[in-house]
């Protein structure tokens, strides 16, 4: 099958590369000449384990084709995916301006029968707006259907999630479009869920909002556990053994971030408001998430007896999660900027995300490794649970610090062992 993806971010580039790997001819349309030329050479603009190799392999096989205009790709395609960003507006609503602009360009160039699929995360009703746009501008002889196939990729595991998803959601209006998309996904082994379009659009938001809720619940229990003398890790581990609840996303920490949870929670609150429903639960999920970040800042101040001005704080981990360089809404941004406002000096290290962090964080000393961060630091904070931090020589860390104070924002260390080494230790939800 010949398909096109408009957009080469995480969703577009990963999905396009995997479908090319499965034997399809895949066009990818971008709007930046430099990025397209780099992609033609196999140079990718994001960090995702294994992606660069797949891109190079399929570019060389001429199954993955990068282009700037719509004229060649769209008429030749059976399916065209819209995979562009939908960032939040100040109101929390998703900004759909690029989606609609792309829909218009697609509509002008379709030929024969085409399935136009929105893979971007969009509010309920967006695909019907896309349909109106395409209908208005398409050539008279061209026919099309619209569809929704939301993505559920986890950064750092996106290739595996594309090939082996928990579910494949296909929302359509017609049997013809459904059959085309079933055929395209036949080599992908997830459970197939076929729905109408509004249901498919809602599934994506509902999934991310529920996962964000689990994280905020874990952080609320962590805070209460600290107050009562309970161990949150054992509490959450205990309830996670209940099959109705499950263990995933019940780890307390400095809050959620990234490209999906913050904006999708905001968007679902806005969608609810537009339909006359006050989504109080999700408003509290947001509030608790901010509290989780504030708690890390407060712990830092408390261990220094609120004397934080001109103190050197080391931060390990900047990306919102390990195995990605994504800094979007990363908790590290809030934590670092809050500490700076109180007069602290910040040193930081991340295995991958430093270049992206430099665009967002100022007056930070970015270091070559964890030991350089720890040198002469008054406090060391673990913000992102990169595996290499689990393997650190903590005796060496202690010896180079000004004060051996460790705030383990991800609970990656054994508190007793760390204390035996002479550290002042604080985790999240631990006594």
| CATH of residue 285 | 3.40.50.720
Q: pLDDT (tens digit, 9 = 90+) per residue, 61-105?
A: 999 999 999 999 999 999 999 999 999 999 999 999 999 999 999
Domain shared by 183 and 217, yes or no = no
Q: State mean pLDDT over 380-390.
A: 98
CB neighbours of residue 280 within 10 Å: 10
Angle between helices 126-137 and 197-228 (to 10 degrees): 150
Domain shared by 325 and 219, yes or no = yes
Q: State mean pLDDT over 17-43.
A: 95
CA angle, residues 73, 79, 85, in degrees to nearest 5: 80
In this structure, what token pair is assigned to residue 323?
């195995």
162, 195, 228 - which closes a domain: 195
135, 164, 195 - which closes a domain: 195
Q: pLDDT (tens digit, 9 = 90+) per residue, 155-206?
A: 899 999 999 999 999 999 999 999 999 999 999 999 999 999 999 999 999 9
- Residue among 390, 389, 256 nearest 315 (CA): 389
Domain shared by 62 and 142, yes or no = yes
Q: Contact at 8 Å (CB) between 394 and 423?
A: yes
Number of structural domains (the chain) is 2
Q: Is residue 202 part of a domain?
A: no
Q: Is residue 271 part of a domain?
A: yes
d(CA 161, CA 206): 18
Domain shared by 231 and 359, yes or no = yes
d(CA 398, CA 365): 20
> Does residue 431 have a pLDDT over 80?
no
Catalytic residue among 260, 268, 297, 374: 260
Q: Is residue 352 part of a domain?
A: yes
Domain shared by 318 and 260, yes or no = yes
Chain centre to alpha carbon of residue 253: 16
Domain shared by 259 and 308, yes or no = yes
Chain centre to alpha carbon of residue 188: 22
* 15 φ/ψ angles, rounded to the nearest 5 degrees: -65, -45
Q: Is residue 6 part of a domain?
A: yes
Domain shared by 153 and 220, yes or no = no
- Concerning whether 260 is annotated as a catalytic residue, the answer is yes
**Which pLDDT value is given to residue 339?**
98
Q: Is residue 161 part of a domain?
A: yes
d(CA 342, CA 301): 9
Domain shared by 179 and 278, yes or no = no
The sign of the dihedral angle between the CA atoms of 246, 251, 257, 262 is positive
Q: Is residue 238 part of a domain?
A: yes
Domain shared by 357 and 236, yes or no = yes
Chain-wide mean pLDDT for the chain?
Answer: 96
144, 172, 195 - which closes a domain: 195
CA-based radius of gyration for the chain = 24
Q: pLDDT (tens digit, 9 = 90+) per residue, 128-168?
A: 999 999 999 999 999 999 999 999 999 899 999 999 999 99
Domain shared by 272 and 412, yes or no = yes
Q: Contact at 8 Å (CB) between 52 and 29?
A: no
Domain shared by 409 and 373, yes or no = yes
Q: pLDDT (tens digit, 9 = 90+) per residue, 239-267?
A: 999 999 999 999 999 999 998 999 999 99
Domain shared by 107 and 222, yes or no = no
Q: Is residue 21 part of a domain?
A: yes
d(CA 300, CA 147): 49
**Which pLDDT value is given to residue 305?**
92
Domain region containing 240: 210-426
Q: Is residue 174 part of a domain?
A: yes
Angle between helices 280-303 and 331-341 (to 10 degrees): 50
């Amino acid at each position: 099958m010949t398909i096109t993806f408009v957009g080469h971010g995480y969703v577009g580039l990963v999905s396009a590369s995997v479908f090319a790997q499965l034997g399809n001819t895949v066009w990818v349309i971008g709007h930046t000449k430099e990025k397209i030329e780099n992609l033609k050479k196999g140079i990718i603009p994001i960090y995702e384990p294994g992606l660069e190799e797949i891109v190079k392999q399929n570019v060389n096989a001429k199954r993955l084709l990068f282009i700037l205009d719509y004229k060649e790709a769209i008429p030749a395609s059976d399916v065209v995916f819209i995979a562009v960003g939908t960032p939040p507006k100040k109101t929390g609503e998703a900004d759909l301006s690029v989606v609609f602009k792309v829909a218009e360009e697609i509509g002008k160039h379709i030929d024969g029968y085409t399935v136009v699929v929105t893979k971007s995360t969009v509010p309920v009703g967006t695909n019907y707006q896309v349909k109106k746009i395409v209908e208005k501008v398409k050539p008279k002889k061209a026919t099309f259907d619209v569809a929704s196939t939301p993505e559920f990729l986890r950064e750092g595991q996106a290739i595996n999630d594309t090939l082996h998803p928990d579910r494949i959601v296909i929302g359509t209006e017609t049997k013809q479009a459904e059959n085309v998309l079933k055929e395209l996904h036949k080599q992908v082994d997830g459970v197939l869920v076929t729905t109408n379009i509004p249901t498919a659009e809602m599934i994506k938001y509902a999934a991310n909002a529920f996962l964000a809720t689990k994280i905020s619940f874990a952080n609320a229990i962590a805070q209460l556990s600290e107050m009562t003398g309970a161990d949150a890790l054992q509490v959450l581990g205990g309830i996670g053994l209940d099959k109705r609840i499950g263990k995933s996303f019940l780890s307390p920490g400095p809050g959620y971030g990234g490209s999906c949870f913050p904006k999708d929670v905001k968007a679902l609150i806005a969608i609810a408001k537009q339909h006359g429903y006050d989504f109080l639960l999700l408003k509290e999920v947001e509030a608790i998430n901010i509290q989780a970040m504030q708690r890390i800042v407060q712990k830092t101040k408390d261990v220094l007896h609120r004397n934080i001005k001109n103190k050197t704080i080391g931060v390990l981990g900047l990306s919102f999660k390990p195995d990605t360089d994504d800094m979007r809404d990363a908790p590290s941004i809030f934590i670092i900027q809050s500490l700076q406002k109180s007069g602290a000096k910040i040193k930081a290290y991340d295995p991958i995300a430093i270049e992206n962090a430099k665009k967002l964080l100022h007056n930070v000393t970015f270091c070559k490794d964890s030991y350089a961060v720890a040198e002469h630091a008054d406090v060391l904070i673990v913000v992102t649970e990169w595996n290499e931090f689990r393997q650190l020589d903590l005796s060496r860390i202690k010896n180079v610090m000004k004060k051996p104070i460790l705030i383990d924002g991800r609970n990656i260390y054994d508190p007793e062992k760390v204390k035996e080494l002479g550290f002042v230790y604080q985790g999240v939800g631990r006594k």
